[in-house]
Amino acid sequence: MNAAVIPARGGSKRIPGKNIRPFANRPMICHSIAAARASGLFDAIVVSTDSEEIARVARDCGAETPFLRPASLADDQTPIAPVLLHALAELEARGRGVDNLCLIYATAPFLTPEALREGLRVLEERRADAVFSVTSFPAPVQRALTLDARGRLRMLWPEHEVTRSQDLPQAFHDAGQFHWVRASALRATGRLYMENAYPVIIPRQLSQDIDTPEDWDRAEMLFRFACADRGETGKNEGSAT
């Protein structure tokens, strides 16, 4: 079966309670759950959390919470792969064998059912081990700047100071929306970033990582613009789909 797992621990520090904080008039996590449900792809949509409050909100939004995540997998140092392996083991212990697993981030209000469907299509057609959402950097990463010990600007790759932008390879970063993985490959490697991985490219205007209050404010602004483009009010939509 295909299963979606949405990790949502309760101890967010930079934005307290961000997984269930209201975004566009509904708890943030409900946008991800709504996109997963609308995709029609999943036999199970599971929220992995250590918080009874988050679990209750998730159930109200249409997800399952058949287990609570142990504290050992719920601190801010825990990588995401062990969380997925735990969820996979919990599902299989309940007799629910998983073929493909989709990690969906709880703070992904721009996630669309179409992007999830495209991810599964690529996974199957390419016989990939993993497919995940990426978006392009707005400027060539080879021209990135940093600060030295005295606070002065320095190029990370000074050899590209005069290289034309069009001559540099395009670079991408994780869009923070979803990762499709084959359950067998996840078990074998314990990793999300696998060699046989392919992208679903998300437009930059529909991608916003949400780690800080500034990120949150920018996401709200982008969401309003996205709703305006579709002639919507943004007052009672489920997700940006």
Q: What are the φ/ψ torsions at residue 46 (nearest 5 degrees)?
A: -115, 130
Whether the CB-CB separation of 20 and 36 falls below 8 Å is answered with no
Q: What is the per-residue pLDDT across 154-196, written as a single tens digit (0 to 9) for each? A: 999 999 999 999 999 999 999 999 999 999 999 999 999 999 9
The angle subtended at Cα 129 by Cα 126 and Cα 130, nearest 5°, is 90
Average pLDDT of the chain is 91
Q: Could you give the CA distance from residue 122 to residue 195 in angstroms, rounded to a whole number?
A: 15
- The pair of three-digit structure tokens given for residue 165, joined into one six-digit string: 């932008």
Q: What is the per-residue pLDDT across 126-159, written as a single tens digit (0 to 9) for each? A: 999 999 999 999 999 999 999 999 999 999 999 9
Domain chopping of the chain, boundaries: 2-136+173-229
| CATH homologous superfamily for the domain 2-136+173-229 | Spore Coat Polysaccharide Biosynthesis Protein SpsA; Chain A (3.90.550.10)
Q: What pLDDT, on a 0 to 100 scale, did the predictor assign at position 178?
A: 98
Size (the chain), residues: 241
Q: What is the per-residue pLDDT across 24-41, written as a single tens digit (0 to 9) for each? A: 989 999 999 999 999 999
Q: Could you give the CA distance from residue 105 to residue 102 in angstroms, rounded to a whole number?
A: 10
Q: What pLDDT, on a 0 to 100 scale, did the predictor assign at position 11?
A: 78
Whole-prediction pTM: 0.89
Burial, 239: exposed, middle or buried (Cβ in 10 Å; 0-12, 13-18, 19+)? buried
Q: What is the per-residue pLDDT across 62-89, written as a single tens digit (0 to 9) for each? A: 999 999 999 999 988 889 999 999 999 9
Helix (H) or strand (E) holding 221: helix 213-229
